[in-house]
Amino acid sequence: MLIDNKDKVDINVNSEYGELEAVIIHSPGQEVENMTPENAERALYSDILNLSEATREYSQFKSVLEKHALTIEVKDLLKDILLNETVKKNLITNICSNENVFHIKKKLIEMEPDTLAKNLIEGVELQRNTLTKFLSTDRFSLKPLHNFFFTRDASVSINDFVLINPMANQVRKREALIMETIFINHPMFQAKTYNPANKIEFDPNITIEGGDILVAREDVLIIGNSMRTSAQGIDYILEKVKSDSKIKYIIVQELPRSPESFIHLDMTFTFLSKNEVLIYEPVILNPNQFKTILIEIEKNEVKISEQVDILKVLKKLKFDIEPIHCGGKGDPWIQEREQWHSGANLFAMGPGKLLGYGRNVYTLKEMNKHGYEIIKANDVIKNRKDLKNYDKYVVTIDSSELSRGGGGCRCMTMPVRRKLA
């Protein structure tokens, strides 16, 4: 990937729905195939994916994004920064230290940037040249990053800075390390970065993942308190944004700790535009089970209060919001089935310009009732449909395989620049 001056990106994400200008993705590769039923649970999957079908589906997703915005691959960024020998050695040292694999450090340092980028993502196979290694049940010295195509989680853009996230599971921590190294060293980006793991007295209870962080407006964050984002993690964000005069409010939504489909807030609540949100009703509008908390920030003073639900808080903050129901209204079984397959996890390329899974037919019917045209990705890719002819739409990608990974279109994107909404 050759960097041109026109490709330089100043970080600017002050909403979930402003017109998308630049986004980071990672096309799934051999790391997805390097998974078996035996290690799927350790890799945070409930099933294994077929790479050829997942690749076909992902190609639809990427092709639609490329028609809309600058679309940047993680692996290309990683190759670029590995051309710098100092950056390369520091990254390898940090990875070897974090994962206790110093025995492969020399091998990694000797690799060319292309090969190294591939191995840091797809994994390094174990060389069985000692008795201990020969008897090991592991296949890899450096484990594959099975989850990296969910680029939302390792880092998140908030206004003009990037938060590098200490993720909840060891198997994903290398993702955050790679993203931090990219944002600090790649000439494409001009970015302030914050990483709680860099604190001298780092609290291991601080866990944060990007699927739990929504930028509602430049002064309003919504954060899920989930199995992946802890109260301590939210407190860290609070401390950082207290010095950012733009952010005045943090809405915290408590989430169920099981099943795994509730892993992040964006599996139950996403913005479609300034005035519409997609919700999974049993969680978002159930105040008896899951708390909604408002944190107000004024000149470094903090006020914390319990609220009824997210929608009522947003109304207080001058949002005029209409909810659309994942799975449609009325049948909790259908709602539950579609939420499981990321029915509430749509990605806004602009106000009312959405990307989502085609399999969630009841959600799409409900969207259509609210004026959204439902358009197949292939019709856009092959220029049979021009999105400029529609004010509101959902572009649907095939999703029999990708949806089994446990995330949707928002999960697979890391926006770095949007127009002011």
d(CA 311, CA 255): 15
Q: Residue 126: which of 136, 117, 139, 115 has the closest Cα? A: 139
- pLDDT of the residue at 56: 94
Tokens at 281, concatenated: 């009703």
Q: Residue 257: which of 219, 224, 279, 306 has the closest Cα? A: 224
What is the percent of the chain where pLDDT is above 90?
A: 76
- pLDDT of the residue at 190: 85
Residue 181's pLDDT band, with cuts at 50, 70 and 90, is very high
User: Is domain 5-418 given the CATH code 3.30.365.10 in the classification?
Assistant: no
- pLDDT of the residue at 294: 98
- pLDDT of the residue at 40: 46
Q: Which of 2-11, 31-40, 377-386 reaches the highest mean pLDDT?
A: 377-386
Asked if pLDDT for residue 129 goes beyond 70, the answer is yes
Longest dimension (CA), the chain: 66
The H or E element spanning position 193 is strand 192-194
How buried is residue 231: exposed, middle or buried, by Cβ count under 10 Å (0-12/13-18/19+)?
middle
- pLDDT of the residue at 21: 97
Whether residue 367 contacts residue 392, with contact meaning beta carbons closer than 8 Å, is answered with no
Asked if pLDDT for residue 66 goes beyond 80, the answer is yes
The tens digit of pLDDT for each residue in 185-229 reads: 999 998 899 999 988 788 999 999 999 999 999 999 999 999 999
- pLDDT of the residue at 6: 60
Residue 154's pLDDT band, with cuts at 50, 70 and 90, is very high
Q: What is the mean pLDDT of residues 17-46?
A: 75
- pLDDT of the residue at 20: 98
Q: What is the mean pLDDT of residues 36-61?
A: 71
B/e letters for 1-21, b = 16+ CB within 10 Å, e = fewer, are: eeeeeeeebebbbbbbbbbbb
Asked if pLDDT for residue 34 goes beyond 70, the answer is no
pTM here is 0.93
Beta bridge partners of 324: 278
Q: Residue 407: which of 352, 363, 333, 356 has the closest Cα? A: 356
- pLDDT of the residue at 46: 52
Rg (CA), the chain: 21
Asked if pLDDT for residue 38 goes beyond 60, the answer is no
Q: Residue 254: which of 219, 289, 221 has the closest Cα? A: 289
